[in-house]
Structure 1
Amino acid sequence: MDITRFLQWLQVAAATDSTAPMKRRIVRFQSRSDCRRFIQEWAKLAHAHPTLRDIRPMPLIQAVSCELPDDCPPARLATHCMIEPDMQVALHGSVHKSAEPESGIPWGVRQIKAPSVWNITTGHRVKVGVIDTGIDFNHPDLRHSVSRGINLLVRSLLPYDDNGHGTHIAGTIAAANRLQGMIGVAPRSVIHPVKAFDLNGTAFVSDIILGIEWCVRHRMDIINMSFGMKKRSKALLTAVTNAYNAGVIIVASSGNDGKNKAIDYPARFPQTLSVGATNKLRRIAPFSNRGSLIDIYAPGDKIISAWLHGNYNEMSGTSMATSHISGAIALLLAHRPGLTPAEIKAILKKSTQPLRGSKAPRRAGELDITRMMQAADAQA
């Protein structure tokens, strides 16, 4: 591939004053060597050519993200790469309202029976990458549960949460302040916040891929993905597959459309663990997507967890269910390190509690951590 010519085309396309709007796209190279040479050449030119500075390399999937016009690159260049839209992704949490922390252990943590195994495992040192809106580093319930992480939107800053969703997710997974605040499912696991979502709770697929790449490079054990989109992205599938092959278990929320046979991506990819939401009655929450594409259910209705400025909020959504599952896997991995993503998925799916309700699916049930640990011990 003529890398120099491709860079020249990108430079001209970006600099052209056209009435056609520029759109964010992901360019994946068919050849690993082409990708490597492109990134090397781009790095040399970017300082001198401002129009090239917005290009973001994504080595995990042999790709870059950049803004391009609608017209395709010259045919001789296009045959060496695949171009797809850099789509927007939305969080899977509903409108929130302020709340006080529940006295004692949060109902969702109790319902999945996390306290029954805390004498065996608390998730000690298991690394959970939470790709979300960041985290409130100063929250009293999270101070001992958080590592530095990364801010993909502003690399020079810590991944401070300006939305609240990421802090809520982190609280359910790993809060550790039972006497005065709340306690999460795996209070001695470590949250690595990966800020890919902005103040409004939106991100691009390229931001998610960069987040996955960071998690793989920094050897996360678990990636929590409490977000989704309707359309399939081949680039995102490639990133998820590469993380899966690297031994990282990805937990993804199914979506809040109340649909019976459809779930959002990336939960729809077979390499993830797809999660639906239940309520206090062990029934599927009305808002939760459901059906044969769901691997497991967990509490997701009216969940109280940590929020910005040391506060607490109640939220509902498959986002909240996903954080319960990520915490449970942290407990499992601290007790049985070395389990593969496929083994973890199999253990969780065969150790669930049946759901209640006449229309409850027989194939997938609600997380039961006592059964999960028994199944893992039986397999050892």
Structure 2
Amino acid sequence: MEHYVRVMPYQVIEQEAEVKEVPEGVELIQAPKIWSKTKGKGITVAVLDTGCDSSHPDLQKQIIGGRNFTDDDGGHPDIFKDYNGHGTHVAGTIAAQENDNGVIGVAPEASLLIIKVLNKNGSGQYDWIIDGINYAIEQKVDIISMSLGGPTDIPELYQAVKKAIANNILVVCAAGNEGDNNDSTDEFAFPGSYNEVISVGAINFERRSSEFTNSHNEIDLVAPGEGIVSTYLNGKYATLSGTSMAAPHVSGALALIKNLANSSFERKLSESELYAQLIKRTVPLGNSAKLEGNGLIYLTVLDHLAKVFDQEVKTMVMNRQASFS
């Protein structure tokens, strides 16, 4: 019996021919406030999805190549065109370029490797996903982003994920949209439920857990996943909702974090060390850990804490000086 994986169910709220904005989700995770330090240059993110509209004006300079593992276009390996829209939307959230028009991604100077593993219907065989992961490993990418999932735990898929991580690749996955707004029940989708991946749940712009987001003990963190504006088919833009939209916020954030961390430590950090750097940049929102994991990705939290610490030290010094005067 063949098993299939699909894009996480998502809702297309609106399509637009033109926009000009920094998306609210990109703002919420504080990405613009660290662009003076890095915009992700030199980091490659593999987007395993429905392909991409590589001619989109916000994406064409970011895409460094691609490969098709699906049955679209007769299975031609070099045609990774997106007929669905999901993959193009995800790619834009990660790395839409800064061009004073359209939208801008979390890491606007990161490179995108488009690996098409889901066809025009948003469906794919597990073998396509596994082949896509292995291709990403061969291409020595830094990050794999997967906004897809299925109900079946396939051992070969798990092995491919572990192989990627053994090759020091960060694997980011959407948690899934089968949630019932009840953290006492668990909903699992694979590969997002594997302990080794970075599993991302969704929140809205009021920082509340999305009703559809899966809950279980493997959730690592959350990101904006409702009303997300990004690139879409035929050079247009669309507003979508789903954990599929949350995961690419984290993939883009990791591109920025990897640059910052490698510069600070003056060496390349391991996958586990980079994961620790990611989790250090989260803030709890008061939801159940089964819904939000460690909390919301918030890229400036360390800077904020440093300022608070500096102020506390200054206050202590001033109080001590006053006691001697």
| Bucket of the pairwise TM-score, normalised by the shorter protein | 0.7 to 0.9
Q: Distance in 1 between matches of 2:193 and 2:179?
A: 15
Equivalent residue of 1:336, what SS?
Answer: helix
Alignment-derived partner of residue 8 in structure 2: 92
Which of 183, 193, 199 is residue 120 of structure 2 equivalent to? 199
| CA deviation after TM superposition for structure 1 residue 272, in Å | 0.4
Which of 6, 9, 26 is residue 109 of structure 1 equivalent to? 26
Alignment-derived partner of residue 52 in structure 2: 135
Structure 1 residues 264, 187: closer, same or farther in 2, change over 3 A? same
Contact 2:145–2:251 (Cα < 8 Å) also in 1: yes
Q: Distance in 1 between matches of 2:195 and 2:96?
A: 30
| TM-superposition CA deviations, 1:81-105 (whole Å, max 9, x none) | xxxxx41001114131313665431
Residues 1:274 and 2:190 aligned together: no
Q: Distance in 1 between matches of 2:78 and 2:17?
A: 30
| TM-superposition CA deviations, 1:219-250 (whole Å, max 9, x none) | 01000010111121111011111111011110
* 1:339-378 → structure 2 map (5 Å cutoff): 339-356=269-286, 363-371=293-301
* 1:1-380 → structure 2 map (5 Å cutoff): 23=1, 86-96=2-12, 97-99=14-16, 103-153=20-70, 154-259=75-180, 260=183, 261-337=186-262, 338-356=268-286, 363-371=293-301
Q: Distance in 1 between matches of 2:64 and 2:301?
A: 30
| TM-superposition CA deviations, 1:37-60 (whole Å, max 9, x none) | xxxxxxxxxxxxxxxxxxxxxxxx
Equivalent residue of 1:309, what SS?
Answer: helix
Alignment-derived partner of residue 311 in structure 2: none
Higher relative contact order by CA 8 Å / sep ≥ 6: 1 or 2? 2
Structure 1 residues 269, 358: closer, same or farther in 2, change over 3 A? closer
Q: Distance in 2 between matches of 1:253 and 1:363?
A: 13
Q: Distance in 2 between matches of 1:198 and 1:206?
A: 13
Structure 1 residues 166, 183: closer, same or farther in 2, change over 3 A? same
Contact 1:352–1:372 (Cα < 8 Å) also in 2: no
Q: Distance in 1 between matches of 2:251 and 2:4?
A: 24
Structure 1 residues 126, 373: closer, same or farther in 2, change over 3 A? farther
Q: Distance in 1 between matches of 2:69 and 2:146?
A: 15
**Which amino acid counterpart does residue 195 of structure 1 have in structure 2?**
K
Q: Distance in 2 between matches of 1:221 and 1:374?
A: 28
**Which amino acid counterpart does residue 333 of structure 1 have in structure 2?**
K
**Which amino acid counterpart does residue 134 of structure 1 have in structure 2?**
G
Alignment-derived partner of residue 312 in structure 2: none
> Stretches of 4+ moved more than 3 A in 1?
99-103, 356-363, 372-375
Q: Distance in 2 between matches of 1:372 and 1:247?
A: 24
Contact 1:184–1:327 (Cα < 8 Å) also in 2: yes
**Which amino acid counterpart does residue 221 of structure 2 have in structure 1?**
I
Identity over the aligned pairs, expressed in percent? 36
| CA deviation after TM superposition for structure 1 residue 157, in Å | 3.2
Structure 1 residues 323, 373: closer, same or farther in 2, change over 3 A? farther
Q: Distance in 2 between matches of 1:368 and 1:135?
A: 28
- Number of aligned residues: 291
| CA deviation after TM superposition for structure 1 residue 177, in Å | 3.6
Q: Which runs of 5+ in 2 are unaligned?
A: 263-267, 306-325
TM-score, normalised on structure 2?
0.84
| TM-superposition CA deviations, 1:136-183 (whole Å, max 9, x none) | 011011111111111112234321111111000000000014411110
Q: Distance in 1 between matches of 2:101 and 2:153?
A: 44
Alignment-derived partner of residue 14 in structure 1: none
TM-score, normalised on structure 1?
0.72
Q: Distance in 2 between matches of 1:219 and 1:374?
A: 34
| CA deviation after TM superposition for structure 1 residue 263, in Å | 2.8
Q: Which runs of 5+ in 1 are unaligned?
A: 1-22, 24-85, 376-380
Q: Larger Rg: 1 or 2?
A: 1
Q: Distance in 2 between matches of 1:159 and 1:363?
A: 34
Q: Distance in 2 between matches of 1:184 and 1:314?
A: 14
Q: Distance in 2 between matches of 1:310 and 1:322?
A: 22
Structure 1 range deviating more: 253-262 or 114-123: 253-262
